[in-house]
Chain A
Amino acid sequence: MSVGEIPLEAAGRATGRAADVVLVARCRRGEPEAFSRLVALHEGMVFNLAARLLGDGEEARDVAQNVFLHVYRKLGQFEGRSTLRTWIYRITVNQCHNRRRWWKRRHKDKEEPLDDLATGPNAVFLADRRPESSPYDQTRRSERARRVQRALLQLSFDHRAVVVLFEIEGQSCAAIADALGIATGTVKSRLARAREALRKRLSDVVGEDGQS
């Protein structure tokens, strides 16, 4: 057996958990580059999750900023038991939940859900990676995305969080349970109910042609 020495940073690439620990430790030492990297690694995921949970790009951006400020302040509490990603998911979901409650109190009169992520002053860039598709296809796809987003916003927040983390963020039930602090069985039953509700609301979209 021999021993090879490699840079810690390279080692971080070798295993995710070790990379997390190293990155967090560097942030704790007050290295601005390390924190920039932490933000850069996770901002896309935080923004997407917040935008899907809140249905509003401007709010999502605001929440994302708060998420990272919170992360910075609480780095001392990160123990490496969950992955950094799971920990940040948890913070994001909590911040969105608070935001949503606050928003509901302030806008009791407005029942209309915020569902228009792609147009208006709160426009966000839709990362459509299929530039080769025809304008017709693109239009249909974005119309479908709007319908799906609206249906998502009609779910309860708890159900929405589970279904977005599972279906969009690709997290396992166990990781979601960890992020939300609930039992895996609860994740599964919320997922089943959320899917069923979406199935009913999207019945006319589900069978549509061109869903590829």
Chain B
Amino acid sequence: MRCASIRRRLSAWMDGGLSPAAARAVSAHLDTCEACARRLAELRGVSELLGELPRLEAPESIAQDVLTRLEVETRGPGLGMLLRRFGAARPFIMPSLVPAALVLVTVLSAALALDSGDRTRLPGSIASWGVIPARGTESNPVFPSAGVGLPRERDGGRLDEEVLLAGFGGGTLFVETVVARDGTVSTVTVLEGDAERAGPLLDALRQQRYEPARYRGRPVAISLYRLISHTDVSLPKI
């Protein structure tokens, strides 16, 4: 290749963005052509100059100004409308979390396979959860909180561990299950991960049966979240 066509490729070559054959041709040329090798060194120098530019920081935090401006809006009708719209934007609604609050995320991990922990064990400080509105319909389920009795998997409705291991392709899945008032699963939504590969697992999740969750004694629909991962998860201290 001639120098001109080599030089056009140097940028991509630097980033490893060339095909193996093209990369080899550039490398071979660089071994023999001093001018192109110098050009490469200069381009690398440019990268270094940019990389060593200091991070610029605002003199004061931007967050406070933004929140102040939002608060001003909140007092008008604008934000109320917004929040109502968010409220309608299911199924993205997620558990309300006070700092270090506990929400039902279940980590199913092959790395923990030898541990026979209790599946329905509830996290400790449920009392720290905030108050939630008494809704809990299928289209607008509530989230685990202080006032909500959590749904329990019924015998026979439990997840089969083999299904879990076989049905889930790998990587990480973040799944929301909406348990309806009668304890059946009304929806299973993959919030993150490869839904197609996890088909059998999702089917199994849809087949689950629960004792309904209760809020003030009444059965309500509830959202459960599971982070399912084959990777070893170290449980952070709270």
Contact = CB atoms under 8 A, between A and B. Distances in A.
Pick from B15, B45, B54, B101 the residue with the most CB of A within 10 Å.
Answer: B54
B200 interface: no
Contacts of A40: 61, 63
Interface string A52-87: 100001001100110011001101100010000000
Contacts of A134: none
Contacts of A47: 56-58, 62
B235 A10 contact: yes
A17 B173 CA distance: 10
Contacts of A44: 55, 57
B25 interface: no
Interface in B104-138: 104-110, 112-113, 115-117, 119, 121-123
A21 B176 CA distance: 12
Contacts of A51: 56
A98 to B, nearest CB: 18
Interface in A88-112: none
B21 interface: no
A39 B67 contact: yes
Interface stretch (B205-213, B214-222, B225-233): B225-233
Interface residues of B, number: 81
B42 A65 contact: no
Interface in A164-212: 164, 167-168, 173, 188, 191-192, 195-196, 198-199, 202-203, 205-207, 211
Contact of B43 (A141, A144, A199): A199
B30 to A, nearest CB: 16
B100 A9 contact: yes
Interface in B6-55: 8, 10-12, 15, 17, 39, 42-43, 45-55
A22 interface: yes
Interface residues of A, number: 83
Contacts of A3: 106-108, 112, 117, 119
A51 B61 CA distance: 15
A72 B85 CA distance: 12
Interface string A126-158: 111100000000000100110011001000000
Contacts of A202: 45-46, 49
A39 B97 contact: no
A200 to B, nearest CB: 9
24 contacts: A1-B109, A3-B107, A3-B119, A4-B235, A5-B106, A6-B227, A6-B233, A6-B235, A8-B102, A8-B103, A9-B99, A10-B235, A11-B105, A21-B94, A21-B192, A22-B94, A30-B86, A31-B97, A80-B192, A144-B49, A145-B54, A188-B12, A192-B12, A195-B43
Given A30-B79, A188-B15, 19 more contacts: A2-B113, A4-B109, A4-B117, A4-B235, A14-B233, A18-B227, A26-B96, A29-B96, A69-B70, A125-B57, A125-B59, A126-B54, A126-B56, A167-B50, A167-B51, A188-B12, A191-B15, A199-B43, A203-B42
The 8 lowest CB-CB distance pairs between A and B, nearest first, are A25-B94, A192-B11, A206-B45, A28-B86, A167-B50, A8-B103, A39-B63, A51-B56
